[in-house]
């Protein structure tokens, strides 16, 4: 067992530190006060140094580095310590760019990848539909090729980043005669056009992160298809495995637990800090057991990844384990809040309130975790079938053929 | 960065597993479960010959010079195979003598304990007004040269050659079998794969370990890790058994494992137990190499695995339906083993409170 990174990588860490000392925060500025220009120029320097967008070729704005999970981990740790900006998050940099690099035409890559990762183009995703959630491949939005253009009709839902999105990548049924999966294509389209209507959805927290998107003869050029006609299912499933962050979600759970501990110190029971209460200590430590389990399991998975081995069942368990931790944290936080839990968290978006009732956003958000990106019950199916080798569900097996 | 077993550790794992598969397969486990003695001398001596009992002891006393992690690898397999008989209490007793004993005590006992020629156990728990007293600061048994009193929940005390006894002030002492005033009575434990006894002392001579008070917590930490390892192995065996049954048993003309309700139960069991192997390894690694984290990691692992194993074992019985409720079905071994791992050396909430203290909450 060796949890160190070795001398070669410690040298790499030192280089990252030297870079960061020179570049972040920008001269005579606090990190929090950095301007958009300063952040952008920092990111450019970090790309030049080989620290950001490591999987993206130089000609598309990346730093084109050999995959190196430990180097990537060290960069995350060191950037995190001084809170330096990392890659942009969102559907464009995280989903579209890798998909185009694998499947896109030269023209598509030239046009879209650099602007996606630099944030000049904001992208949203058009996958789910009202009738196609867990059973995504049953989607019904149609795309018809007419006079050199795709004409789209139908409805998407749960679209995030809709407020600022310039473009959408969407799964659309273009081959109505083909099978369920084989009839789907992956199309790119402009959001700002007469055939696209966006209606925000107000969610239980009061925020509107999601929207419904309606297509009424929405149009996009014939060559804005990624991959072949009918290959959309496969294209959408491909996510380049470059430097998977094996311990990111475990670190997030650890951070959430530290917040819970702060709440337990500030909340009161019988005039004393709640953290001094015997049952609260036991409950905190019980959650800590799960948080530590995830941390240690992530080390096991990281090791297997480094050795080019499969983590087998372990990696299938991460999403539901993280969700379970979020739910346990929310239940204990609720208990600690007492009557405050009946108050509406003020000043949306979440986290801007001074009172402990801001925790009720985490309480509701933890439910979102159990739903978004594959519900916990879908995760259980996957674990049972792929992990434990139990027989496929009869209905799902029938239309499995891609 | 390498958080996995080494090739040597995997070889150890395979060797012990193969040995137990041959010498103590499930039919033999069942015989021993129903037997009065509760363990097989041949298996015990086999383990000794393989060097398993002295893995953690220095080479100059007949050990292999390895660490707690290697013992945890063995404990996991024993949990998986529900192996009846002494193990963790014996290696803890030897660890106590190695770390706290005088040269004479070490020379007298360690070679015989490493080979399994002599068998030792640890006697720590005492009855108290609010439950068992497992922790060194709670021990009340006299600290003079002669002991009078009682120790409870002593694993495999009947037939043991040597007792490492917890003393008032948190120290440790040695009592040999046959010592005046020493008596052992069997407790009727639920887990018949690890027998529990009550040991009484009346003016019984005791040979103190000079550094006992310094190492008592360490020795108990090692015990927590080994019980957690056993619980992980047992929990994995439960999930495997329940999955296997779901793939075999048919109702309504199909394998019951195709029903989503059962799939979800089995998936939840996997979520509870599969990722805990790293937690056990980390606690063992911390014991061996990160002393400032060792006690909290051991407490966390024992508390977490104690509850996970009981939970998974209960659900395994349920997943087997009626047959799971019978004496003849093997899964009862793990349910009962889980209750031992949960309780012995302190229950999960005791260790959660300790972890909270140790982590400075």
For residue B242, what is the domain's CATH number?
Answer: 1.20.140.10
CB-CB under 8 Å, B278 with A293: yes
| Strand bridging mode A123-126 / A167-173 | parallel
**Cα A133 to the center of its chain, rounded Å:** 18
Note whether B36 and B96 are same-domain residues: yes
CB contact under 8 A, B267 and A384: yes
CB of B279 within 8 Å of any CB in chain A?
yes
* pLDDT at res. A355: 79
Quickly tell me which residue has 């950095």 as its tokens.
A34
The answer to whether residue B319 is domain-embedded is: yes
3-state DSSP assignment of residue B173: strand
Do residues B60 and B111 share a domain? yes
Residue A140 to residue B63: CA distance in whole angstroms: 69
Question: What integer pLDDT is reported at residue B333 of this predicted model?
Answer: 98
pLDDT at A75 over 80: yes
3-state secondary structure of A241: coil
Regarding whether B315 and B206 lie in a shared domain, the answer is no
pLDDT tens for each residue of B41-72:
999 999 999 999 999 999 999 999 999 999 99
Q: Is residue B349 part of a domain?
A: yes
Confidence of residue A351 (pLDDT cuts 50, 70, 90): very low
* Contacting residues of B for A4, CB less than 8 Å apart: 1
Q: What is the pLDDT of residues A81-111, one digit of tens each?
A: 899 999 998 899 989 999 999 999 999 999 9
- The CATH number of residue B70's host domain is 1.10.540.10
Per residue in A221-243, pLDDT (tens digit) is 999 999 999 999 999 987 655 66
Is the preceding omega at residue A125 within 30 degrees of 0, hence cis? Answer: no
Q: Which of residues 316-355 of B touch A (CB under 8 A)?
A: 348-349, 351-353, 355
pLDDT: which is higher, B128 or B201: B201
Task: Supply the CATH classification number for the domain A97-237.
Answer: 2.40.110.10
- Indicate yes or no: CB of A384 within 8 angstroms of CB of B266: yes
The 3-state DSSP class for residue A193 equals coil
For residue A349, whether the previous peptide bond is cis, meaning omega lies within 30 degrees of 0, is: yes
CA distance A195 to A210: 19
Backbone angles phi, psi at B142, to 5 degrees: -50, 145
- Domain extent for B187: 120-212
Are residues B74 and B20 located together in one domain of the fold? Answer: yes
pLDDT of residue A308: 86
B244 and B275 both lie in a single domain: yes
Helices (H) and strands (E) counted in chain B, each on its own, are 12, 11
Helix (H, G, I), strand (E, B) or coil at B121: strand
The pLDDT score that the predictor gives to residue A350 is 46
Contact yes or no for B44/B78 (Cβ under 8 A): no
pLDDT of residue B111: 98
- Tens of pLDDT, residues B150-181: 999 999 999 999 999 999 999 999 999 999 99
The Cα B16–Cα B53 span in angstroms is 11
Chosen domain end from B60, B83, B115? B115
Cα A62 to chain centroid, rounded: 20
Beta bridge partners of A149: A146, A221
Residue A314 contacts B, CB cutoff 8 Å: yes
A263-272 pLDDT tens trace = 999 999 999 9
pLDDT (0 to 100) of residue A117: 95
Nearest CA distance, A380 vs chain B (angstrom): 5
Query: Model confidence over A288-301: pLDDT tens digits?
Result: 999 999 999 999 99
What is the CATH classification number for the domain harbouring B159? 2.40.110.10
**Has residue B1 been placed in a domain?**
no
Choose the mutation target among A390, A395, A397 for the interface with B, i.e. most B CBs under 10 Å: A390
CATH no. for A248-398: 1.20.140.10
Helix (H) or strand (E) holding A390: none
Set of chain A residues whose Cβ sits within 8 Å of the Cβ of B288: 1
pLDDT band at A361 (very low <50, low <70, confident <90, very high): confident
Q: Is residue B2 part of a domain?
A: no
Tell me the chain B residues in contact with residue A377 when contact means C-beta distances shorter than 8 Å.
Answer: 264
Contacts of B348 in chain A (CB under 8 A): 286
Mean pLDDT of B2-10: 95
Residue reference for tokens 């009484």? B200
Cα(B280)–Cα(B301) distance, integer angstroms: 6
* Interchain CB distance below 8 Å, B279 and A289: yes
Q: With 70 as the cut, is the pLDDT of residue A354 above it?
A: no
Closest chain A residue to B359 measured between Cα atoms? A285
Phi, psi dihedral angles at A245 (to 5 degrees): -80, 100
Contacts of A371 (CB under 8 A, 6+ apart): none
Helix, coil or strand: residue B194: coil
> What pLDDT shows up at residue A207?
83
Residue pair B238/B312 in contact by the 8 Å Cβ criterion: yes
Looking at A35-131, which runs of residues are DSSP E strands? 123-126
Residues B320 and B340 in one domain: yes
- Reply yes or no on whether the pLDDT at A310 is more than 90: no
CB contact under 8 Å between B275 and A285, yes or no, is no
Give the whole-angstrom CA distance, residue A361 versus residue A321.
20
Give the pLDDT of residue A242.
Answer: 60
d(CA B130, CA A63): 64
Residue B71 shares a structural domain with residue B199: no
Asked whether residue A353 carries a pLDDT value surpassing 60, the answer given is: no
Cα B165 to Cα B93: distance, rounded to the nearest angstrom:
9
Q: What is the pLDDT of residue A201?
A: 93
Residue B164 domain-assigned (yes or no):
yes
* B348 in the same domain as B335: yes
pLDDT above 50 (res B40): yes
| B67-B69-B74-B80 Cα dihedral, nearest 10 degrees | 170
For the stretch A130-139, pLDDT in tens is: 999 989 999 9
Task: List chain A domain ranges.
Answer: 6-81, 97-237, 248-398
The continuous run of DSSP H or E covering A160 comes out as none
Residues B160 and B50 both lie in one domain: no
Residues B235 and B299 in one domain: yes
Does residue B356 carry a pLDDT above 70?
yes
Catalytic residue status for A357: no
- Are B218 and B351 within one domain? yes
Q: Which residue has the higher pLDDT, B47 or A206?
A: B47
Q: Check B271 against A321: CB less than 8 A apart.
A: yes
Structure confidence at residue A166 (pLDDT): 97
Model confidence at B143: pLDDT above 80: no
Residue A206 has pLDDT above 90, yes or no: no
- pLDDT, averaged across chain B: 97
What share of chain A has pLDDT > 70, as a percent? 94
Residues of chain B with pLDDT > 70, as a percent, come to 99
Structurally, how many domains does chain B consist of? 3
H/E stretch holding B3: none
Q: Which of A129, A209, A243, A357 is catalytic?
A: A243
Q: CB of B191 within 8 A of CB of B88?
A: no
pLDDT in tens, A148-163: 999 999 999 999 888 8
Q: Does A320 touch chain B (CB under 8 A)?
A: yes
Over residues B283-313, the pLDDT tens digits come to: 999 999 999 999 999 999 999 999 999 999 9
> B289 and A321 in contact by Cβ < 8 A?
no
């Amino acid at each position: 067992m060796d949890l160190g990174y070795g001398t070669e990588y410690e040298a790499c860490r030192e280089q990252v530190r030297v870079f960061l000392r020179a570049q972040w925060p920008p001269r005579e500025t606090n990190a929090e006060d950095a301007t958009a220009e300063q952040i952008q120029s920092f990111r450019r320097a970090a790309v030049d140094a080989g620290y950001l967008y490591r999987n993206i070729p130089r000609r598309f704005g990346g730093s084109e580095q050999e995959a190196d999970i430990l180097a990537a981990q060290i960069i995350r740790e060191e950037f995190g310590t001084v809170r330096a900006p990392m890659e942009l998050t969102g559907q464009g940099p995280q989903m579209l760019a890798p998909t185009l690099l694998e499947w896109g035409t030269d023209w598509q890559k030239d046009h879209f990848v650099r602007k996606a990762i630099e944030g000049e183009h904001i992208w949203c995703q058009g996958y789910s539909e009202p009738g196609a959630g867990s059973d995504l491949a049953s989607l019904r939005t149609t795309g018809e090729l007419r006079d050199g253009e795709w004409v789209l009709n139908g409805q998407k839902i749960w679209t995030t980043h809709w407020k600022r999105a310039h473009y959408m990548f969407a799964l659309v049924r273009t081959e109505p005669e083909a099978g369920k999966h084989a009839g789907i294509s992956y199309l790119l389209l402009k959001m700002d056009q007469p055939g696209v209507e966006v209606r925000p959805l107000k969610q239980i927290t009061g925020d509107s992160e999601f929207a419904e998107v309606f297509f009424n003869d929405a149009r996009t050029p014939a060559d804005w298809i990624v991959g072949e006609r009918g290959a959309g299912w496969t294209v959408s499933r491909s996510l380049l495995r470059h430097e998977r962050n094996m311990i990111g979600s475990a670190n997030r759970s650890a951070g959430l637990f530290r917040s819970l501990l702060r709440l337990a110190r500030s909340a009161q029971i019988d005039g004393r800090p709640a953290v001094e209460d015997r049952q609260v200590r036991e409950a905190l430590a019980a959650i800590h057991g799960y948080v530590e389990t995830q941390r240690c399991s992530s080390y096991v998975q990281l090791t297997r990844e480094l050795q080019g081995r499969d983590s087998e069942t372990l990696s299938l368990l991460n999403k539901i384990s993280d969700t379970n931790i979020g739910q346990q944290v929310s239940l204990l936080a609720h208990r600690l809040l007492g009557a405050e839990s009946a108050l509406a968290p003020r000043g949306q978006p979440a986290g801007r309130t001074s009172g402990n009732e801001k925790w009720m956003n985490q309480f509701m958000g933890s439910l979102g975790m159990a739903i978004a990106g594959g519900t916990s019950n879908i995760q259980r199916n996957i674990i049972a079938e792929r992990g434990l080798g139990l027989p496929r569900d009869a209905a799902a097996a029938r239309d499995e053929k891609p | 960065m390498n958080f996995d077993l080494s090739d040597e550790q995997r070889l150890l794992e395979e060797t012990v597993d193969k040995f137990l598969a041959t010498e103590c397969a499930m039919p033999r486990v069942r015989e021993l479960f129903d037997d009065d003695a509760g363990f097989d001398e041949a298996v015990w001596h086999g383990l000794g010959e393989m060097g398993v009992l002295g893995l953690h002891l220095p080479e100059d006393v007949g050990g292999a010079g390895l660490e707690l992690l290697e013992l945890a690898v063995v404990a996991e397999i024993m949990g998986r195979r529900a192996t009846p008989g002494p193990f963790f209490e014996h290696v803890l007793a030897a660890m106590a003598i190695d770390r706290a004993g005088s040269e004479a005590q070490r020379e007298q006992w360690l070679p015989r304990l490493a080979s399994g020629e002599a068998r030792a156990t640890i006697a720590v728990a005492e009855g108290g007004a609010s439950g068992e007293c497992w922790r060194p600061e709670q021990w009340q048994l006299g600290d003079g040269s002669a002991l009078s009193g009682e120790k409870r929940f002593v694993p495999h005390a009947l037939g043991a050659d040597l007792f490492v006894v917890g003393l008032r002030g948190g120290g440790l002492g040695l009592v040999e079998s046959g010592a005046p005033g020493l008596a052992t009575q069997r407790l009727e434990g639920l887990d018949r794969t690890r027998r529990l006894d009550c040991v009484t002392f009346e003016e019984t001579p005791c040979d103190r370990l000079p550094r006992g008070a310094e190492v008592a917590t360490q020795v108990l930490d090692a015990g927590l890790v080994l019980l957690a390892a056993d619980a992980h192995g047992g929990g994995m065996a439960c999930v495997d058994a329940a999955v296997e049954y779901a793939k075999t048993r048919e109702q309504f003309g199909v394998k019951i494992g195709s029903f989503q309700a059962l799939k979800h139960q089995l998936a939840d069991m996997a979520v509870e137990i599969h990722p805990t192997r790293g937690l056990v390894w980390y606690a063992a690694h911390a014991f061996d190499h990160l002393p400032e984290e060792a006690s909290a990691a051991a407490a966390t692992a024992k508390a977490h695995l104690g509850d996970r194993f009981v939970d998974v074992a209960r659900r395994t019985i349920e997943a087997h339906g009626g047959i799971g409720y019978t004496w003849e079905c093997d899964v009862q071994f793990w349910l009962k083993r889980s209750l031992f791992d949960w309780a012995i050396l302190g229950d999960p909430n005791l260790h959660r409170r300790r972890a909270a203290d140790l982590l400075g909450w």
